[in-house]
Every structure is written in structure tokens, then in C-alpha cells.
Structure 1
């Protein structure tokens, strides 16, 4: 499970990061609106924990961005505001929970776990193609496809961002835990495995290469004028 923490109070940010990491969560952190937007754009999160008031923006607006991108991602707003009207406003904006500062970490953890238990489906369905990230399983027209590990994660990430061109750097940052320790050619290897193990046997095309820009998920309709194999 991956969580994004957005909190400009550095001590609290680090405390939350360390605490959630200790409980086995993968955690990214941001201290402002701009950095949070960057993470939300390149990665898929199970839950976003954001402060309401940020130095350069509003956590409520971030909540709307997250929900527009993926309705299944839970959003928890934390805030020093303690009035009923603020809690109602946060929940009506799309937040799944509202927690007032200061709070007990154990209670916060329990509420995060509760939200994650009731999250929506993570399955991606596009025509005859079904990608199930939770079970690391792919089906095409009812037939299961053997694609695991990083190639599976690359395909899943591109499918989730199928309206975008995703660069090699963005893929590395989104999927590899320490992207600085690997070379960009690992992306080419993963893409090649997708094409060899899935596209060719099924006679379909799932990923197009956009010269000098990156990759785009193209199933079921490939843009032939921009596609280079």
C-alpha cells in the first residue's frame, strides 16, 4: 500500500512518514502543493493524507485533483480547524475523512487502515483487457496472460495514465524504489517483454513509443502516426 503525506510542518511530516513506514506502508512525502501535484501526477496512491492549509495552496483542491484522477484513492484531510463547518466542507469536497490536529498517531493509523479496507476496486478494464494490480493478473478475452514483475507494473502504470505520454524518467520514479540506481534501459527491457509475452501472441498493441518523449498506452486504438516499433 502506497501513501502520500502532504504536510508543511516538517517535524510532523517526518513523524508521520516514519510511523507509517514502520507499519509497512510505502510512503512519499511533500511539504507543499506544487510537490504534491508532481507526485499525484506520476504515481498511483491508495491513500493521500493532506493538511488543509499549505504554503502555496489548498489541501481541499488537492483532494479534488486526486478524486478526479482515481475515485478509489482515499483522501484524509488533517487540519488545525476544529469547527463543524470546516469538517462538513472537507467531506463535501470529496474527502473520505477529516481529522483535527493535534491527533493521536494510533487513532490516525486505525482510521487510515479503516479507509484502506473500504477502498474501491483497483481493477482496470478496457474492452477485452482486464488488469488486476492487487492479484498481479492480466486477462484478455477470458484468457490469463503471464506477465509479472516490473513489466506488469509498467503496463499497469501506463494503463492508468492512458491519456498521457509518460517519459522513461517518470516510469522509473513511479515504479522503482531507488530509480537513481538503475539505468533507463530497464524500461526498454520491460516494454520489450510486454510486447513479446503479450502483444505478439494476442496480436494486439498495448504500448506505443513516442519518439524522444516516452510511451503511451494505446489499446485498443493505436495512434499509427506517432507509433514507432
Structure 2
């Protein structure tokens, strides 16, 4: 899973990155709002960790942008002070959680895992299609479909972002631990497996190719359409 950290304290940013990386997360680091907006525009994230105040503005300036593109992606706000007013500020700004400095890294990790568990464990149900990320299980009209591994992760990611076109690069970043070590054609292989094992036998279409831009989750849509 990939996390965007927006923090202008370089020492804290490095510490967060190293700690979360050790716990299996991939990171992008932005030291200001401008860089944060750039990363949001080019990649999909599972969670955003942002400082309440940065040198070029406040989190209130970027959280609406994050939520407009990723309505369900959790945002955790980090604040210099812990007060009822600051917490109210965070939640009114659109944050999903709040943590004040100084904080214990394990407490932060627990909060991140809780937020991701809440988002990632919820079933994706669209008409007769049910995707269960926790159990790596897909059912269609009550029948289990054998799509596992990376094809399952690709389908799940597209379904979670079904109102968007997702590029190959975004899929690689979101799913592969070391995306720079694999070629984009692994995405084509995964999409082909989804179509062969699921779409074709069921006569449905779940993923459409948007020429030169990427892929989009398109179910419900009959294959002949």
C-alpha cells in the first residue's frame, strides 16, 4: 500500500518514511502543499498523512483537493499542538483522524492500520458482483470466481477507484512493492487474466481500456455493449 506524507520537517519525514517502510508500506514524500498536489495528480494513494501547517499554507488548502479525487482515502492530520480547538480544526478541514506531536510511532502505525482496515475491509458490492479484499474472494451471483494474486489486486484497485481512469504507472505504484523493477506489460497480463477468467465466461465487462490513458472499472456493463 502507498502512503503520501506531506511534512516540511525533513527529519520527521525521513523517520516516518523509514519506519513505515519497515512495516511494509511504500511512501512518497512531499515537503510542501505544491508538491503534495503534484503527487495527488499523478498517483493513487491508500492514505495521506499531512501536517496541519506547512510553510506554504495549511492542510485546509489540500484536504478538499485530496477528497475530491479520492473521496474514501483516509487523511490523518499531524499537529504541533494537542487541544480541542486543534482537533475540531482537523475534522472540520476534512481529516479522518488526528495525532499531535510528539507521538509514538507505534501508536501512529496502529491508527494507520485501523484506517486502512476500515477502508480496505469493506466489501465492494455492485449489483451481482461482490469483491472481498480481506478474503481475496470474488463472487458473481453467488458463485466464486477464481481470480487471485496480482489480477485480483488490480481489479480491486480499479473497483475502488471506479470513477477514475487509472494509468499503468499508477497501478504499478499502488500494487507492486518495487514498481521500478517490473515492466508495464505485467498490467496487461493481469488485465488479460481478469478478462479470460472472469469477463469472458460470465459475459460481462469489468475493465475497459482507455486508449493512451489506462484502464477504468466499468461493471455493470454487458460484454456485447
Q: Please confirm whether the aligned pair reaches a TM-score higher than 0.5, indicating the same fold.
A: yes
Please state if 1:29 is matched with 2:43. no
Deviation at 1:213, TM superposition (A): 2.2
- Secondary structure of 1:98's partner? strand
Written as runs of structure 1 = structure 2, the 5 A alignment for 1:1-229 is: 2-22=2-22, 24-31=23-30, 32-37=32-37, 39-40=39-40, 42-45=43-46, 47-67=47-67, 69-71=70-72, 73-113=73-113, 115=115, 121-221=121-221
- Secondary structure of 1:49's partner? strand
CA contact (8 A) 1:13 1:29 kept: no
1:25–1:202 CA distance, 2 compared to 1 (3 A): same
CA contact (8 A) 1:3 1:25 kept: no
CA contact (8 A) 1:172 1:184 kept: yes
Deviation at 1:114, TM superposition (A): 5.3
Aligned residue pairs: how many?
Answer: 222
Give the distance between the partners of 1:114 and 1:154, measured in 2 at CA: 22
Deviation at 1:112, TM superposition (A): 4.2
CA contact (8 A) 1:77 1:99 kept: yes
Q: What is the root-mean-square deviation in Å for CA atoms of aligned residues? A: 2.9
Which structure is richer in relative contact order (CA contacts within 8 A, separation 6 or more)?
Answer: 2
Q: Which runs of 5+ in 2 are unaligned?
A: none
| TM-score normalised over the length of structure 1 | 0.81
Deviations 1:12-31, CA, capped at 9 Å, x for gaps: 01111222333x24131322
Give the distance between the partners of 2:196 and 2:113, measured in 1 at CA: 39
- Secondary structure of 1:43's partner? coil
Q: Which runs of 5+ in 1 are unaligned?
A: none
Give the distance between the partners of 2:126 and 2:6, measured in 1 at CA: 32
Deviations 1:93-116, CA, capped at 9 Å, x for gaps: 332332222334344345445555
CA contact (8 A) 1:208 1:222 kept: no
1:55–1:141 CA distance, 2 compared to 1 (3 A): farther
